[in-house]
A and B are shown apart, each in its own frame.
Chain A
Amino acid sequence: MKAFYSVLFSLILITGYSQTRISGKVTDERGAGVPLANIVLVDTYDGTTSDTEGNFEFTTTETGTKVLLIKFVGYKDFQREVVLDGKPVNITVPLEEMINELEAVMITAGAFAASDESRRTVFKALDIATTAGATADIAGALNTLPGTQKVGESGRLFVRGGDGNETKTFIDGMLVLDAYSPSAPNTPSRGRFLPFMFKGTSFSTGGYSAEYGQALSSALVLDSKDQSEMTRTDIGILSVGGDIAHTQAWERGSVIGKIQYTNIRPYFGLINQEVDWEKPPVSLEGSSAFRQQVGKDGMLKVYGNFNHTNYSLYQHSIDDYNSKFLYELTNRYRYLNGFYKEALNENWIVRGGVSYTYQQNDAIADQDNIVETEKGIHAKTVFEGSLSDKVELKTGADLVQRSYSQEYIISDGDDYTRSFDETIAAGFAEADLYTSNKFVTRAGARLEYNNLTKQFSVDPRISLAYKTGSFSQVSFAYGKFRQTAKNELVRVNNTLDPEKAEHFILNYQRIENNRTFRVETYYKRYSDLVKYENGDAAILNNAGSGYAKGIELFWRDNRSLRNTDYWISYSFLDTKREYLNYPYRSTPAFASKHNFSVVYKYFVQAINSQLGFTYSYTSGRPYNNPNADKFNNGKTPAYSDLSFNWSYLPKPYLIVYLSCTNLLGRDNIFSYEYSSQQNAEGIYNSRPVRQAAPRFLFVGIFITLSKDKSVNQLPSL
């Protein structure tokens, strides 16, 4: 009995009288106090919050050995065992900074990312849809960013003195062989992929990741949306056709189907065109996307697209307008992309996919029939993960196999076919090494083997970024890039070396609360460009070379003026190259020295409308006048354009959209074409290359039918 009472007594003693006081200070790596940190005595309610100096103090009646956990956002958790026996515990807690997306420095040299998920981007997915003059074309919107040169008659992305084909498009990491719809000669083409499909766009004007190959100047990486949240039907009534889309969503997946019919004939009937159409373009396009979450972290995406376009027009002789011939083009296009992503464990993911592109241009020029067919498969697997919180690794392999053929069926003479099959096998590895949240080094390399040249190559890529302040950073990038020459050159000589470029980029960026300032300067060296030997287009070599250098400025502000968002871009470009038929180094016809654009968006609450204006200016571009002594020495007048758009939301599920390019009706001349023969006076006759029409007017009504009437197509426009 005595023993029992003494046990009971000692129990009371322990529970009732044993209190331990725990105190200390929470600091960061520089010794400064961290306020508001959570101090937790694990598995108990006991603990406290650090004060403004980082100090803390609490008492606990717990006994024995317990774990003290200190946590605060932006820092790694700190744990230590403490013995609670009534003796005061004092502890200094140095919290270690965590490398986190929000605080960490980013590699921004050459990179413009638009994403809804990451919040520190300069550009947002919606910006693409609401930029005036772009009429919801991805390339059109990106053309308002620095680093691009406006080439009005092409519609493609020309980056830093590079030709349009030096920009490659990737969807979910998979290559797209031809990302542009066919267009009549000297009229701008549009991207095949509508901005609404993507949750993120990363537009690189140089120095991009080793994951991407076969692009000399630029990589446009589009990330398609994950699953849709709701079942809905979208109807678009457009001045140039119509579309209907239906989305069926279920718990962990969705499927979307869309059909679009475009017929520009009624529009061209109303507005006089520079082009002498026999049959203006008519196209039927269908696309479908399937999304399914698999298991806990897996995601399967399948996207397919088909397009059939047909048009015909008369081409008039430069010497005699009445002498003309019919040109008819039928384009058939199929694209299929399958993508899969799965988490291997907490730190590693694997993603991969296969894309297939088929494209055929069946052209009839006068009496001749030219059929150009290209088929390609791209397969890729990438492993991404972290070795520690400071080292991230990305490695993978990909294979591009494509076959190209051009059949020439001549009315008078021998038919012939020129073709090639190319296989490029590549492997790449890239590591991001964070020294702290302030400094990151990315080093990688891309190894490629090409079956045509039977050569291995290794291209290094290096980027550094350093945070100079809470909101500003500097970034540097270097990389070597290679790309197989254009199809029309390789079909002549299958063993041409790939063309090469080296980029050096220096960037400064400051983003503070909805204001962005960027300045970037670069030097780009071209080598092994394809050249005609002694001016003969039938004999090709890799003797060409060139350079591009420039400085670019970007300013965006959506804070200073109420309901207003605007950005200003300026690019200065100095570039010369010797390639193709160039007798010596000269500035190519697609390059312009000064490019300037202002995009202005204003929301008018009273009429539920967003109004947008885009002004672009491009200084004159060179053209070659065969009547002059010097090559490429002519200069076109400067280009300028003021475009307008208006999005009106009368009802939550209804949008009326109106846009008009070139409000001022300026007669922009892109270049001059010359006759191939001299006339009687020994002069080559010329003709300016103009816009197809001074303005393009577009009206669309977009209706969304869903159970939830708050949904509209604005996020997708």
Chain B
Amino acid sequence: MKTLNIIPVLIAVLIMTISGTVLANDSKYIEAMQKNIEAVYTAETIPDYQTAVNALERIGAAEKTKWEPFYYASFGYIMMSNQEKDNAKKDVYLDQAVTALNKAKAIVPNESEIIAMEGFIYMMRIPADPSARGPQYTPMAMQAFNKAIAVNPENPRALALLAQMQLGMAQFFGSSTAEACATNAKALEKFTSFQSENPLAPRWGQQMVEEVKSKCGK
């Protein structure tokens, strides 16, 4: 009798622990990610970024099926290249951004956010040597942004990056900024309307849109 009584208890305990660990694991993932995503967003120096990126890469390596850790690690590396002054080192950070992003891409091959980020990396290659790299990387970046928009027309970051690129080209050629401003306005609209079910969905890029908006004089 005693033993019989124990069995349901044991089962109950087992079920509780199993579902507990599953739930705990996912909430542990989300919690850890939220903390480190915030760390990337608020980082100010290269060591800040590297610390956050290291943590993200640890999570990514442990999880194996989640693309977000590598996506944000890639974003962190892009930000590091942006802070770095030396052109050769800028490229090293961007190479690391590519490596991280490729890991994310292997998990979700057709994610609009990842494709947009690819374009972002191409765009960041240009400042180191605009005359040689501009003609090479501009079309590659444009193509990536357009593809990201085709995959998900609601992606505000793809639109914002495209607007940035269009503005740069309009300024270079001294032509009308109307197209860039229209894309930017669309990006701004999507930033308010676009809601992802994913609690870890990217949120960055709004500031970029505000800057372009101010240049568009509206």
Question: Residues of A with Cβ closer than 8 Å to B?
Answer: 1, 4, 35-36, 38-49, 52, 73, 102, 116, 119-120, 124, 126-127, 229-230, 513-514, 558, 565, 601, 603, 605, 608, 610, 649-652, 708, 710-712, 714-715
B135 near A712: Cβ-Cβ < 8 Å: yes
Stretch at the interface among B110-118, B139-147, B152-160, B184-192: B139-147
The closest CB in chain A to the CB of B51 belongs to A49
Give residues 98-151 of B contacting A (CB, 8 Å). Answer: 129, 131-132, 135-136, 138-140, 142-143, 146
Residues of A within 8 A of B2 (CB): 1
Residues of A within 8 A of B28 (CB): 45
A40 near B173: Cβ-Cβ < 8 Å: no
With A565-B131, A610-B131, A650-B173 in contact, is A38–B54 under 8 Å at CB?
yes
Q: How far is the CA of A439 from the CA of B169 in the complex (A)?
A: 44
Q: Is the interface of B mostly helix, strand, loop or mixed?
A: helix
Q: How far is the CA of A509 from the CA of B167 in the complex (A)?
A: 40
Q: Is the interface of A mostly helix, strand, loop or mixed?
A: loop
With A49-B51, A230-B139, A710-B138 in contact, is A652–B62 under 8 Å at CB?
no
**B96 close to chain A: CB less than 8 A:** yes
Q: How far is the CA of A257 from the CA of B91 in the complex (A)?
A: 34
Q: How far is the CA of A116 from the CA of B91 in the complex (A)?
A: 13
Residues of A within 8 A of B46 (CB): 36
B61 near A42: Cβ-Cβ < 8 Å: yes
Shortest CB–CB separation between residue B105 and chain A, in angstroms?
Answer: 15
Residues of B within 8 A of A513 (CB): 86-88
With A73-B92, A116-B136, A565-B131 in contact, is A49–B50 under 8 Å at CB?
yes
B143 near A45: Cβ-Cβ < 8 Å: no
A710 near B50: Cβ-Cβ < 8 Å: no
A45 near B132: Cβ-Cβ < 8 Å: no
Shortest CB–CB separation between residue B98 and chain A, in angstroms?
Answer: 13
Shortest CB–CB separation between residue A243 and chain B, in angstroms?
Answer: 19
Shortest CB–CB separation between residue A498 and chain B, in angstroms?
Answer: 40
Of A120, A230, A514, A714, the contact of B135 (CB 8 Å cutoff):
A714
**B8 close to chain A: CB less than 8 A:** no
**B174 close to chain A: CB less than 8 A:** yes
Shortest CB–CB separation between residue B143 and chain A, in angstroms?
Answer: 6
Instruction: List 8 additional A-B contacts (Cβ < 8 Å) besides A708-B146, A715-B136.
Output: A35-B47, A41-B58, A47-B55, A48-B54, A116-B136, A230-B139, A603-B131, A711-B139
B142 near A710: Cβ-Cβ < 8 Å: yes
B136 near A40: Cβ-Cβ < 8 Å: no
The closest CB in chain A to the CB of B165 belongs to A710
A715 near B50: Cβ-Cβ < 8 Å: no
Query: Interface digits, B11-41 against A, CB 8 Å rule (1 contact, 0 not)?
Result: 0000000000000000010001000000000
The closest CB in chain B to the CB of A74 belongs to B92
Question: Residues of B with Cβ closer than 8 Å to A?
Answer: 2, 6, 10, 28, 32, 46-47, 50-51, 54-55, 57-59, 61-62, 86-88, 91-92, 96, 129, 131-132, 135-136, 138-140, 142-143, 146, 165, 169, 172-175
Q: How far is the CA of A658 from the CA of B62 in the complex (A)?
A: 58
Q: How far is the CA of A49 from the CA of B140 in the complex (A)?
A: 34
Residues of A within 8 A of B57 (CB): 38, 40
Of B88, B138, B173, B175, the contact of A102 (CB 8 Å cutoff):
B88
A43 near B146: Cβ-Cβ < 8 Å: no
Residues of B within 8 A of A229 (CB): 139-140, 143
Of B32, B58, B86, the contact of A40 (CB 8 Å cutoff):
B58
Residues of A within 8 A of B91 (CB): 102, 119
Can you sample 16 A-B contacts with CB below 8 Å? A38-B57, A42-B62, A45-B59, A73-B96, A102-B88, A102-B91, A116-B132, A229-B143, A230-B143, A514-B129, A558-B129, A608-B173, A649-B173, A708-B142, A710-B169, A714-B135
Residues of B within 8 A of A715 (CB): 135-136
The closest CB in chain B to the CB of A35 belongs to B47
The closest CB in chain B to the CB of A119 belongs to B91
Residues of A within 8 A of B140 (CB): 229
A608 near B146: Cβ-Cβ < 8 Å: no
With A47-B55, A608-B173, A652-B169 in contact, is A126–B135 under 8 Å at CB?
yes
Query: 8 tightest CB-CB pairs across the interface, nearest first?
Result: A38-B54, A714-B135, A36-B50, A49-B51, A715-B135, A49-B54, A711-B139, A47-B58
The closest CB in chain A to the CB of B136 belongs to A715
With A49-B51, A652-B169, A652-B173 in contact, is A38–B58 under 8 Å at CB?
yes
Residues of A within 8 A of B51 (CB): 36, 49
Of B87, B96, B173, the contact of A651 (CB 8 Å cutoff):
B173
Q: How far is the CA of A36 from the CA of B49 in the complex (A)?
A: 10
The closest CB in chain B to the CB of A711 belongs to B139
The closest CB in chain B to the CB of A43 belongs to B62
Q: How far is the CA of A712 from the CA of B173 in the complex (A)?
A: 13
Residues of A within 8 A of B131 (CB): 126, 565, 601, 603, 610
Shortest CB–CB separation between residue A614 and chain B, in angstroms?
Answer: 16
